Chains A and B, each alone.
Chain A
C-alpha cells in the first residue's frame, strides 16, 4: 500500500515540564486508509512514546478520541488523513482544561450530564411481574435522535457560550435531559426542570448551532435546547404540566 509522508503538529502539555501547551511536529508515513487516530498511534508507537491521547473503540462508538483537527472538533477515528491537505494540526478539545497533551479533564462534563438525571424516573416502579413499560414507535420517535448521543463532548468544544460561560449546562446534557423529558415512560420532568430552568440552563444558549454541526452522530442538540426552552417556558407559565407526561 502506498505511503504518504504527512506533517502533524500536535499540541503537547506535560504538566511536570511545560509551563503552557506547546506544539511539536512529527513527520508520519501514513497509509492511504489511515485516520488521524492511526497517525497518533503511530507517533506514540514509533516516534514519541510520551504522547498521551485517549481512544478506545476505533469505530465512532465510544466517543473517546474527540480532538480538534485543524481547528474543528472531530472524532479522530473517523477523520481520514487523506481528506486533509498540508500540515495537520491536532489539539485537545477546546473549552476543557488540559490534563496532558491531547487528554482533557472531563469531570465537569460528567457532572453536568449527571445533573440532568439522564435516566428514567418513575414515581412508582411497576412490579416486574406486571411486565415491561410499553412504548409505541411514535412515542420512540419523539426522542430517538437525542438518544444517539455518545457523550464525545465535541459539542462542548464547539460551543461559544461555554467559552464565555463555563458553567453553562451545555448541549449534550440538555439534549439528554430533553430526551428523557420526551420519553413516555418517564415521570421525572419536574426534577430536571430545576436544572434546565436555572441561570446556566437552556436560556444561556443563544443558538450558534455549532454543536449540531460538529455532532458525529447527527444528533441536533441545538434543536433539543430550543425545544427545551419552549417546554420550560410553557411549564413555567403553567400551560404545560410540570409533572409526569405518561
Chain B
C-alpha cells in the first residue's frame, strides 16, 4: 500500500442544522431577525433624510417639493415603519447596555468615565444630533 493510500479520508458529515425554532418560531430568534431587519429600514430612512438634505441645498423650490413628497400617505406610512424599527433598535441597544453596566469593563486601570456615561453617551450624542438636524429641517432652528 502506498503512503498516499494510507491517508485516512475524512468521514462524510451531515450539514449543520439550524437551531430549533429558527428563525421565526421562537421569540428570541424572532427578536434577532427583527434586530437585523432594523438596518434595512434605518438605511431607507437615512436615504430619505439625505434626499431632504440634498433638496435643502438645492433651494426652496426643491425643499418644498421634498416636503410635499414626504407628506403623501405612502411616505408617511413608510416613515412610521422606519420610526418603529429605529425605536426598536434604540431600545434593544439599551437592553444590551444593561448587560454592560451590570459588570465591569476590566480591572485596573479603570476607564476615565463611569460606565453608564460611556455606554449611553454615544447613543445620546447620536440621538441629539438627529434631533438638531430634524429641528433644522423642520424650520424650528435657523
A94-B19, A95-B19, A181-B106 known; 9 new pairs, CB 8 Å cut-off, are: A94-B22, A97-B13, A160-B23, A182-B104, A207-B96, A207-B99, A226-B99, A227-B103, A234-B118
- Decide yes or no whether A20 CB sits under 8 A from chain B: yes
A227 contacts which of B18, B100, B112 (Cβ < 8 Å)? B100
Range class of the B interface residue count:
35 or more
User: Please, how many angstroms separate the alpha-carbon atoms of A80 and B123 in the complex?
Assistant: 45
Looking at the assembled complex, report how far the CB atom of B76 sits from the nearest CB atom of chain A, in whole angstroms: 29
Residues on A with C-beta less than 8 A from B33 are 160
Q: Is B29 on the interface with A (CB-CB < 8 A)? A: yes
Contact with A along B9-41 (1 / 0, CB 8 A): 001111111111111000011011101100000
Please, could you name 11 A-B residue pairs with CB atoms under 8 Å apart, sorted by A? A13-B14, A15-B11, A95-B18, A98-B16, A159-B19, A160-B22, A163-B22, A184-B108, A227-B100, A230-B118, A234-B111
A206 near B32 with CB under 8 A, answer yes
User: Do A207 and B92 touch (CB < 8 A)?
Assistant: yes
Number of A-B contacts (CB under 8 A): 122
> A15 and B12: CB pair below 8 A?
yes
Output the nearest chain A residue to B93 by Cβ-Cβ distance.
A207
Interface centre among A13, A21, A234 (most CB of B within 10 A): A234
Given A206-B35, A210-B28, A230-B100: A94 in contact with B14 (beta carbons within 8 A): no
Q: Say whether A227 contacts B104, CB under 8 Å.
A: yes
Q: Does B59 contact A (CB under 8 A)?
A: no
Question: A231 at interface (Cβ–Cβ under 8 A)?
Answer: yes
Partner of A21, one of B11, B14, B23, B96: B14
Chain A, interface residues (CB within 8 Å), range: 35 or more
Residue interface mask B45-69, A partner, CB < 8 A = 1:
0000000000000000000000000
In the complex, the answer to whether B18 meets A239 with C-beta atoms within 8 Å is no
In the A-B complex, the 4 residue pairs with the closest CB atoms: A71-B20, A97-B13, A98-B14, A226-B99
Query: Which chain A residues numbered 204 to 237 have a C-beta less than 8 Å away from chain B?
Result: 206-210, 213, 220, 222-223, 226-227, 229-231, 234
CB contact under 8 A between A105 and B19, given known A223-B103, A226-B99: no
User: A28 to chain B: which residues have CB within 8 Å?
Assistant: none
Q: Which of B17, B20, B36, B106 has the most C-beta atoms of chain A within 10 angstroms of its own C-beta? A: B106
B105 contacts partner chain A, Cβ-Cβ < 8 Å: yes
From A105, A226, A239, give the contact of B13 (CB < 8 A): A105
Structural contact, B20 and A94, CB atoms closer than 8 A: yes
Question: Is B102 an interface residue, CB under 8 A from the partner?
Answer: yes
Partner of A99, one of B11, B99, B107: B11
Cα A94 to Cα B19 with chains together (Å):
5
Q: A57 to B127: give the CA distance in the assembly, Å.
A: 52
Q: Which of A18, A223, A229 lies in contact with B102, CB distance below 8 A?
A: A223
* Per-residue contact bits, chain B 80-117, to A (CB 8 Å; 1 contact, 0 not): 00000000000010011101101111111101100100
Q: How far is the CB of B88 from chain A (nearest CB, A)?
A: 12
Q: Are B95 and A207 within 8 A (Cβ)?
A: yes
Separation in Å of the B16 CB from the closest CB of chain A?
A: 5
The docked-state distance in angstroms from the alpha carbon of A96 to that of B17 is: 7
Separation of A224 and B18 alpha carbons in the complex (Å): 24
A29 at the B interface (CB under 8 A)? no
Q: Are A157 and B19 within 8 A (Cβ)?
A: yes
Residues of B contacting A160 in the complex (Cβ-Cβ under 8 angstroms): 19, 22-23, 28-29, 32-33
Contact B109 A240 (CB under 8 A): yes
Closest to A159 in B: B19
The reply to whether A239 and B111 contact each other, CB–CB distance below 8 Å, is yes
Residue of B nearest to A138 (CB): B107
Q: With CB as the reference atom, state the residue of chain B lying closest to A210.
A: B28
